[in-house]
Amino acid sequence: MSDLATALSNLNRPRLLVRAARHGVSEYKRDRDLRRISGHNSSASPRRIVSHLLAQEEAIERTRVARDGTYSPNKHIEVLVALMAESRNLPAPSAAPARTPRRTSSDTGWRPTTV
């Protein structure tokens, strides 16, 4: 879990991509979108799904940075939306403090650092 948490917290993406993805999280439907975006069905473990989405996002990011003509901002945003939404399903870290705050409806899961 700490590997995924570290990888998620170390993501650093352009502000415009992050803002677009944040807007899309509210429209994300796991049953509808997960298979289309990542190829996994909704019964797969959250850890496996997030790991796959991270790898997929890193490949897309390399394409973006290389200014490759095959880069698709739409696909990049879709993967970021799924990554943000699916990161909410990860179990809490085992080294959590004794008293953890309750999640509220305003919690949006993982939020990447913007450039």
Number of domains in the chain: 1
pTM higher than 0.85 for the full model? no
Reading the chain (115 residues) residue by residue, the pLDDT tens digits are 468 788 888 888 999 999 999 999 999 998 889 889 988 777 778 888 999 999 999 999 999 999 999 999 999 999 999 999 998 888 776 655 555 556 555 555 666 666 5
Calpha distance 106→93 (Å, rounded): 20
In this structure, is residue 14 part of a structural domain?
yes
Calpha distance 5→2 (Å, rounded): 5
Residues with Cβ < 8 Å from 14, sequence gap 6 or more? Answer: 114, 115
Please give the residue range of the domain that contains residue 58.
2-91
In this structure, is residue 109 part of a structural domain?
no
In this structure, is residue 110 part of a structural domain?
no
In this structure, is residue 108 part of a structural domain?
no
